[in-house]
Amino acid sequence: MARPYWKGYLKLSLVTCPVNMSPATSESEKVRFHTLNKETGNRVVSQYIDSVTGKPVKDGNEAKGYARGENDYVILTEDDLDAVALDTVKTIDIEKFAPAESIEWVYLEKPHYLMPDDAVGNEAFAVIRDAMEADKVVGISKLVVGRREKAVVLEPRDEGIVLWSLRFGDEVRPEEAYFEDIDDEADPDLVPLVQQLIKKKIKRWSPDMVSDPIQENLLKLIEEKKKALKPKKKTAKAKEAPASNVINIMDALRKSVADELKSRKAG
């Protein structure tokens, strides 16, 4: 199992548990190439060059810049960017829920696996997961990844939760603009014939249905060209100790419900 690339907390009112998240998909198996100097066989190294002096820029001198005019920038350092970090950098706070079937597929961007980060948080995680599953709802929240805040949806799945990053509304193009000129109905005499073809080709889904022949041909070509070299041994990395987060779930849930009722009466 791949190492998680994000760790933080899952929060619902007063119930909190440590969690970690890993991408549900991977492109690590794809063939990737390095750019080489064909004459020497050495790798080509890219670096930042000052556009005026033409000299390489040292790592410590690199900074983010926001253009306010031609050749005029507001410089932001790493400390500046860290200072404006949001709470969602380390916490997925579920504030809203929606019926699971109400979110259209086009808004779903990228799936991630969300799971408890230690044994102490298993119970709190399971309570949140099972409650969403029982009510057939998904949780709506926000999460900061790479200093960008993304809307996310949490979907209970088996023993875990699948977290989908969501596209924002202005990123989705309306389908009507593309489909409006297509005929509403097909020739009713032709539909049964196509249905017969479909029935003959129906098979249970398998990942083998979407193989990549170009990838396979590349691997064969590389295998023919590469020399017999022993792979380098990977050094084992020390595991990080999970953070302890002892909570009384029943007390937290009772207080959460009581606070919610009080706020509704006050409203």
pLDDT digits (tens, 9 = 90+) for 186-209: 888 889 888 998 898 888 888 777
226 domain-assigned: no
Structurally, how many domains does the chain consist of?
A: 1
Q: Report the CATH number at residue 5.
A: 2.40.290.10
Tell me the per-residue pLDDT of 111-130, one tens digit each, with 9 for 90 and over: 999 999 988 889 999 999 99
Residue 61: DSSP 8-state? G
13 domain-assigned: yes
Average pLDDT value for residue range 144-151: 79
Prediction pTM value: 0.66
Residue 246 has pLDDT above 50, yes or no: no
Following CA atoms 142, 144, 148, 153 in sequence, which dihedral angle do they give, to the nearest 10 degrees?
-30
85 domain-assigned: yes
Tell me the per-residue pLDDT of 22-70, one tens digit each, with 9 for 90 and over: 999 887 777 788 888 888 888 998 888 998 898 999 888 888 888 888 8
Tell me the per-residue pLDDT of 153-174, one tens digit each, with 9 for 90 and over: 999 999 999 999 999 888 899 8
Could you list the residue range(s) of the whole structural domain that residue 153 is in? 1-25+78-179
140 domain-assigned: yes
**What are the E-state strand segments in the chain?**
6-12, 15-23, 64-69, 72-76, 91-93, 96-99, 108-116, 137-145, 148-157, 160-166
- Residue 180 phi/psi, 5-degree rounding, is -65, -25
Tokens, residue 25: 């998909």
